[in-house]
Amino acid sequence: MRQGALTERAESLVVALTFPLTTTPRTVVAAGVAGVTYCLLVLSSFPEYSVQLLSADIGYLDEALVALTANTVATAGTTGVALIVAYSLLAGIAMVNAVTQVRVVGLRGAGSLSGAVPGLLASGCASCGAGVLGLLGLAGALATLPFHGNLLRLGGLVLLLAFLGRAGDPRVCNIETQ
């Protein structure tokens, strides 16, 4: 990639990252999606515990989140939790940007949104750990990864950042006309 294109991509990324902060409703939606994403990722890190606790009473949600966050710190370290938080924030930003882009371009332009899918899947699976991998029959796979899967989490974040940098400002259609 040449220097000018790299600078342009970096500027596009900054615009994409700051877009949800342009209005209060967008910020609230991005924060809400980020919060829900964090909760889902942490709760799915130990799905049997989460299901047992929450089926007893939904009031145990806070206890489950605290216990499973502590478990994540114990297994993946503070770096792992920081990557999960970063993924959650980027998921909120990506969701707001994707919805805005669909509103501007319509569903026929939603093909450009497909770049977010690998990032959501890769870092989502790595962030929730044995939850999704256990459902796939690969519960021990994350434990065998170096750095407790933090490199896979980082890879997913890079994919999300690449999507956001490529998409840029969701209010502007980047499709070139001939």
* Both structure tokens of 34: 């980020």
Residue 145 lies in a domain: yes
- pTM (2 decimals)? 0.75
Which DSSP symbol is given to 170? Answer: T
**Residue 7: per-residue pLDDT:** 84
**Residue 128: per-residue pLDDT:** 47
Domain count, the chain: 1
The whole domain housing 53 covers 25-167
Residue 18 lies in a domain: no
Nearest to 119 by CA among 8, 43, 16: 16
Residue 19 lies in a domain: no
Report how far residue 49's alpha carbon sits from residue 34's, in angstroms, rounded to the nearest whole number: 22
Q: What is the mean pLDDT of the chain?
A: 77
pLDDT in tens, 29-77: 999 999 999 998 888 878 888 889 999 999 999 999 999 999 888 888 8
